[in-house]
Structure 1
Amino acid sequence: MNEEEFTRCIQVIRQQIEALHGYIVWLPAQQQQLLAETIEEIATSIGNLQLLQEEMQASLETMEVIQEDLLGQNEYLAEERQRYYELFQFAPDAYFLTNAQGIILEANRAAGALFNLLPDFLVGKPLANYVHETERSVFRTRVDNLLQVFSSVQEWEITMCPRGSKPFDAALMVTPVRSSSGTLVFLQLIVRDVTQYKQLNLQQQPAVASQLLPEAESVSLPHTLDGVQVLFVDDEADAREFITAVLEQHGISVTAVGSVIEALEVLERSRPDVLLSDIRMPNEDGYALIRKVRALEAQKGWQIPAGALTAYLAEDRAKAVKAGFQSHLHKLAEPKELIAMVAQLVGRA
């Protein structure tokens, strides 16, 4: 029943009520009063009903306005979603969206090109499948750590293997996306091939090393550093093995660990002569480590000379020194530069 039909029915009922007034005079007095009261109640109910109908009509009109607004918003959101989808798909960098376990949910065209696969083929596969087999356990451990450790954007370096091509050095920017309760829901990843960048760094290494540790040029390498104990902290297993081998060739005793927590555990048991630490590490970085080491020294009365290592050209030497390191060296520096830094830190230059 529409509004017009409803109004017509109300009018007919009112006319019938008015007609009943003509019959009241023929009834006994008691029945006249009872009928009059009944007619009055009916008239009041009809008035209320008509008022309710008017309110409902006003509500319907308001709902129509809201519906029009919602339709407009839905159209806007659909346009925005399409725009962001196109930005995602045609972005120059390889973008991935995975679940909390590292299973690929979305991959853009650049990601497909980087791994020589169609993006749709990547969906549903573990991203770890495209990590070099020697580093898969490290990659999975890092992903698992994100479930337990609340952290913002992280930068990882890892070797990845595209289909039908040679492995390449990859830099990953990993952004955890969490629910309001803090539960890890998604991982957003940007993957870049930095192989050429690293090769360029190797070519520029002499100039870089002289800028990062200019005083090392005047340091003569000692014939031996026997007895010197070095605690080396780096989350990359390959870096730990390489640095350890270089140091041990000069008689240095090396304890190599992969995290800030492990380093602090070692420091609770023993006091090394020198601390060497990578700057960029997941969860807690080298800056966090040196702060905690300096606090520990205040308790134990120690003073451990420390050197910072970095794989990034843009890493600020002044920032590292201000944080508490005495020296700063690029990882691509020649081994003799590293030995010179340790010798200088330990006072055997």
Structure 2
Amino acid sequence: MSNLNSLSRRAKLAGERSLELYRNANDSSLPSHDLLSSALMELGLVSEALEGAIDEIAYKTKQLAIVQTEIEAERQRYLDLLEFVPDGCFVTDAKAVVLEVNRVGAALVNAQPHALVGKSLTSLIYPEDLSLFQVKLSQVMQQYRANNGTEFSVRLRRQSDSFFPATLTVNVLRQPNGELGSIQWLVRDVTERKRAEAALAHPHYDPALDRPLVQFGKGEVIPLEPQTIWLVIDGVVKITTLSDRGEEMLVGLLGEPMVFGSSLTALQTYQAVALSDVKLAAISLSEVAQSPPLAQAVLRSLQQRLQQTESLLAINGQMRVEERLNRLLVLLKQAIGQPVEQGTRLRARLTHQDFASACCTTRVTVTRLLGKLQEQGKVAQDAKNHIVFKD
């Protein structure tokens, strides 16, 4: 910049000097070679200053190109980060005109990103919610220096006649001088949350509604997490522990809608195995603590578990092994039995060792006693070795 200023000053002086030389050229008293020498000198000075200015301009141009490249890289990085935001993200000016939108946001309203740029965000708001949106926008504009992260719910347009409930979180992006730059709107589709809240409010709430189901095949060990309980939706789950001698002991046979989890037991060794193909729903303990209807549903399930546990304890209190087995069969018929043409069939196949561990006896004894019941026509086995109780 100093060379440019020097060039400007020298060009001005050269202009004044040229004008003076022009006037002197009409004066016949001055030799012509003196005039030419003075003019060439002035032109030389201006040429030197011009060369310096050109060098400085070239340097500044190179620096500017570097800065522009860095700015473009930062802008691309910002756009990439915008695309990785898991929620819908709209960036607007102070009048809610869309400047940028990520793919998630565009997909929420079933539009292409380029089709939304330049349009007002208000065009996506359900008419009855428009006044609320404008009030919130006005509050953001007035309080952006002291407040940020305003959140409220409106309905957004997905198609011409389709709307969905959404939560908008508003953040103001400030300029370096602290003034308002643009506004960022994080958009979340809360359709599923609204549906879940409505289900919770229902007097006959079913905790299995609106939950993803996890399937396990027969024989698979079901993982147990300390902050999660499993709700049985379909199938039968066997709960076991180990005795002091390292033998497996049956402590529960769970059908729908019963719950289990490591947080519901004080046993050091606790394993859950799918006795059939099962479908389970995971419920977090924090969710149970925050939802009275869900807590009531879990409590009803725990009541069933408690009743079954008491029945198993009562079975083990019987003196005769035959009586223990008979009572266990009655319990299983009630817990996991299903009506069939021949009578009542257990939905899961239990091994003789399972019966033995539940009755505190040996597998050989169970085999003998079950054979006796079959001879009496009280029980049978189907093609898949499931026990069927004759009615």
TM class by shorter-chain length?
0.3 to 0.5
Larger radius of gyration: 2
Which has more strand, going by share of residues? 2
User: TM-score, normalised on structure 2?
Assistant: 0.37
Which has more helix, going by share of residues? 1
